[in-house]
Amino acid sequence: MPDRDLEVGPALLDWYDRHRRVLPWRSAPGAASDPYAVWLSEIMLQQTTVAAVKPYFAAFLAAWPTVRDLAAAPLDDILKAWAGLGYYSRARNLHACARAIVDQHGGRFPPDEVGLRSLPGIGPYTAAAIAAIAFGQRAVVVDGNVERVMARLCAVEEPLPAARPRLHAAMNRVTPQSRTGDFAQAVMDLGATICTPRSPACVLCPLIALCDARRLGLQADLPRKSKKAKVPQRGGAVFIVHRSDGCVLVRQRPPEGLFGGMTEFPSTPWTEQHDAEHSPTRPVGLEKLEGPFVPVGTVEHGLTHFHLTLHVYAIRTDRQSFEGCRWIAVDALAGEALPTLMRKVARFAQGLNSETSTLANTPEPEPQITLPVQSDCPKINLPHPKSQAPNEFRTRHMPQRGRSRTTPSA
């Protein structure tokens, strides 16, 4: 092992002891952390900022202090508590993993990477992080921050993702035999606070004398990334059906797939070939709804594999029931398991049922569109969901989390 590799661990650990970030899931330097807290935080931090995770982490610990409590909770409650954090398959895997730990391991986390990777939703990175941080195992922990630090430390010019094996090997070389959890968190903190993607603060870095990129003047150019493919575009229509008593129509998505089991406003399928703005169709369950739909705006949202544009329509009705749907007060939407996309749509629902709302008092809204009945979509009987309510990036090897926006109609 080169002398430089031997120097990295002591230098970083000394820096970490004095300048580490104080985070609610961490223990003091040299002390093992609670595996439940480490696991919960690592799942939440995937493609999500530390600032965004903190209140969710606190809420989950308050509601479910132990993995046994989480395993015993209804999945619907977990989805509601997770709403707004994104990547909702994480919440479903969280519940499945908690149940597996209780059912198969007596409520205790396996202490090694092999055992941890056998659990639902735990991949190589998360297994290594728990093994190192919670159990003191010598595991090689590599996330996006670590990749950036290693790429600069070793001046790896090969672009990501092809460079990942080299960066993993570099992290393996510099990881010490002791305090591996603290060391992993030290590299993460260095990447989050000093060795940042843009304008790294090299003069403050404890590794400045050891950094090849700094020596070669490449720190601003590394790590390099392969050109991203063009993001596919999809679209559709979403419908706010509202009554004069302040209720809107919602339904539950099927348990599998995107936003599985969560609450949504009725919408058409999201397709690549669409003309929802000019010729939208009624979704399943709204075939018998009479009257014109009023366009009220659009919602744009970046998802993992495509960018989505939804055209939002509204209609008032006195009809009491719709197949696969239920009524809920607008004010109660905050307690629903609404994904961020549907929370954007929910903003348009505010005020639609007021006697003084724009839609209620506009005698001839422009334009008005009468929708044809959608006939080529299979009928789905959706279950009635329960109504119980319960900056720094930590980048994982997943596409960047998208942003959504709402655009009101003119």
Classify residue 152 as exposed, middle or buried by CB count within 10 Å of its CB (0-12, 13-18, 19+): buried
From CA 14, how far away is CA 318, in angstroms rounded? 68
From CA 264, how far away is CA 238, in angstroms rounded? 9
Task: Establish whether 364 is a catalytic residue.
Answer: no
CA nearest neighbour of 130 among 146, 111, 104: 111
Cβ pair 282, 238 in contact under 8 A = no
Catalytic, out of 42, 113, 147, 336:
42
Query: Where are the extended beta strands (E) located within 211-342?
Result: 233-242, 247-252, 263-264, 294-302, 307-316, 325-329
The total number of residues written for the chain in this structure: 410
From CA 88, how far away is CA 79, in angstroms rounded? 8
Cβ pair 359, 316 in contact under 8 A = yes
Active site residues: 42
